[in-house]
Structure 1
Amino acid sequence: MTPADFDIAGKGDAVRLRLTGDWTTGGLGRTAGRLESALAGASSIELDISGLGRLDTAGALALVRASRCSLPAEAWATRPEAGRIYAMVQRLGCEGVPPTRRSDPITRSFARIGHGLIDAGQEAMLSLAFLGRLIVAVGVMLRRPGRIRWPAWVSQTERAGLDALPIVVVTNFFIGAVVAFIGADLLTEFGAAVFTVELIAVSVLREFAVVITAVLLAGRSASAFAAEVGSMRMNQEVDAMRVMGVDPFQALVIPRLAALLVMLPLLTFAGMVAGLFGGMVVGWTQLNLGPAFFLDRIAQMPDVTNHLVVGLSKAPVFALVVAAIGCRQGMAVAGDVESLGRRVTAAVVQAIFAIILLDAVFALMFLELNY
Structure 2
Amino acid sequence: MERPADFTVRTAADRPTVSLSGDWTASQLGDAGRNLAATLDGQAGAALDLMQVRRMDTAGAYAVIRAAGHDFDIEQTRARPETRRLLALVAEAVTRKPVVRREPKGFHDLTIRIGKGVVDLGHEFLETMGFLGHLLVVLGRTLVNLFIAPQKIRWAAVVSLMERAGLDAIPIVAITSFFIGAVVGLLGANMLRQFGAEVFAVELIGIAVLREFNIIITAVLLAGRSASSFAAEIGSMKMNQEVDAMRVLGVDPFDALVLPRFAALLLTIPLLTFVATLAGLFGGMVVTWSALDLGPAFFLQRIVDNVGATQFWIGLSKAPVMAAVIAGIGCRQGLLVGGDVESLGRRVTAAVVHAIFAIIMIDAAFALLYMELDI
Distance 1:95 1:235, change over 3 A: closer
What is the TM-score normalised by the length of structure 1? 0.76
Residue 119 (structure 1) aligns with: 120
Q: What are the residue-to-residue correspondences of 1:182-261 with 2, within 5 Å?
A: 182-261=187-266
Q: Which segment is superposed worse, 244-253 or 361-370?
A: 244-253
How many Å apart are 1:97 and its aligned residue? Answer: 2.5
How many Å apart are 1:91 and its aligned residue? Answer: 9.5
How many Å apart are 1:93 and its aligned residue? Answer: 9.6
Instruction: Read off the aligned partner of 1:143 and give its amino acid letter.
Output: V
Instruction: Read off the aligned partner of 2:295 and give its amino acid letter.
Output: G
Instruction: Read off the aligned partner of 1:187 and give its amino acid letter.
Output: L
Instruction: Read off the aligned partner of 2:272 and give its amino acid letter.
Output: L
- Residues in 2 aligned to 1:285 and 1:105: alpha-carbon distance in whole angstroms: 59
How many Å apart are 1:141 and its aligned residue? Answer: 1.2
Residue 36 (structure 1) aligns with: none
Distance 1:95 1:154, change over 3 A: closer
Residue 269 (structure 1) aligns with: 274
Residue 311 (structure 1) aligns with: 315
How many Å apart are 1:103 and its aligned residue? Answer: 1.7
Instruction: Read off the aligned partner of 1:280 and give its amino acid letter.
Output: M
- Residues in 2 aligned to 1:136 and 1:103: alpha-carbon distance in whole angstroms: 45
How many Å apart are 1:290 and its aligned residue? Answer: 1.3
Instruction: Read off the aligned partner of 1:346 and give its amino acid letter.
Output: A
What is the TM-score normalised by the length of structure 2? 0.75
Given that residues 77 and 83 in structure 1 are in contact (C-alpha distance below 8 angstroms), is that contact kept between their aligned partners in structure 2?
A: no
How many Å apart are 1:325 and its aligned residue? Answer: 0.8
Residue 13 (structure 2) aligns with: none
| Deviation string, structure 1 residues 199-254 (Cα, Å, up to 9, x no partner) | 00000000011011101000100010011011111111112112222221111111
Secondary structure (helix, strand or coil) at the match of 1:183 reads helix
Does residue 370 (structure 1) correspond to residue 340 (structure 2)? The answer is no
| Deviation string, structure 1 residues 308-367 (Cα, Å, up to 9, x no partner) | 110010011100110011111111112221211111111111111111111011001100
Q: Which segment is superposed worse, 147-156 or 98-107?
A: 98-107
- Residues in 1 aligned to 2:213 and 2:122: alpha-carbon distance in whole angstroms: 32
| Match of residue 328, structure 2, among 313, 324, 329 | 324
- Residues in 2 aligned to 1:150 and 1:340: alpha-carbon distance in whole angstroms: 28
How many Å apart are 1:82 and its aligned residue? Answer: 10
How many Å apart are 1:83 and its aligned residue? Answer: 8.7
Q: Which segment is superposed worse, 289-298 or 207-216?
A: 289-298
After superposition, the CA RMSD in angstroms is: 2.5
Q: How many residues align?
A: 300
- Residues in 1 aligned to 2:132 and 2:369: alpha-carbon distance in whole angstroms: 24
Long gaps (5+) in structure 2: 1-32, 35-39, 47-62, 73-90
How many Å apart are 1:288 and its aligned residue? Answer: 1.0
Does residue 356 (structure 1) correspond to residue 357 (structure 2)? The answer is no
- Residues in 2 aligned to 1:77 and 1:188: alpha-carbon distance in whole angstroms: 103
| Match of residue 281, structure 1, among 280, 286, 292 | 286
| Match of residue 342, structure 2, among 323, 338, 341 | 338
Does residue 172 (structure 1) correspond to residue 177 (structure 2)? The answer is yes
- Residues in 1 aligned to 2:224 and 2:310: alpha-carbon distance in whole angstroms: 29
Instruction: Read off the aligned partner of 1:179 and give its amino acid letter.
Output: V
Residue 66 (structure 2) aligns with: 84
Long gaps (5+) in structure 1: 1-54, 57-74
Given that residues 218 and 352 in structure 1 are in contact (C-alpha distance below 8 angstroms), is that contact kept between their aligned partners in structure 2?
A: yes
Distance 1:142 1:92, change over 3 A: closer
Instruction: Read off the aligned partner of 2:309 and give its amino acid letter.
Output: T
Given that residues 202 and 304 in structure 1 are in contact (C-alpha distance below 8 angstroms), is that contact kept between their aligned partners in structure 2?
A: no
Instruction: Read off the aligned partner of 1:191 and give its amino acid letter.
Output: G
Secondary structure (helix, strand or coil) at the match of 2:346 reads helix
Q: What are the residue-to-residue correspondences of 1:297-308 with 2, within 5 Å?
A: 297-301=302-306, 303-308=307-312
Q: Which segment is superposed worse, 361-370 or 242-251?
A: 242-251
Q: What are the residue-to-residue correspondences of 1:15-94 with 2, within 5 Å?
A: 76=41, 84=66
How many Å apart are 1:286 and its aligned residue? Answer: 1.0
